[in-house]
Amino acid sequence: MSTLEIIVEDLKTLPPPKLADAAGYIHRLKEEVTWAGRLAALERSTAILTEAEGKELERIIEDGCEKIDPRDW
């Protein structure tokens, strides 16, 4: 029997309040995994641009993204 099957069988024996507790715990574990993945991706992308590249990117964003074209409204 796999770990998942054992867990499912154990869950089947729990009363509803404990089953709700287990569901909450599983949900929190899932959020932690998702958060950890997001944090790891952010850490991998930290400082991937040189200072010059960062300034150029900032200039491009300011020049191209911070203008409002009244014809678009």
**CA 59 from centre of chain:** 28
Which tens digits make up the pLDDT trace of 15-65?
999 999 999 999 988 888 888 888 888 888 888 888 999 899 999 888 878
- Residues with Cβ within 8 Å of 9's Cβ and at least 6 positions away in sequence, in order, are 1
- Looking at per-residue confidence, does 34 or 12 come out higher? 12
Distance CA 14, CA 6 (A): 13
pTM of the entire predicted model: 0.47
Q: What's residue 21's pLDDT?
A: 95
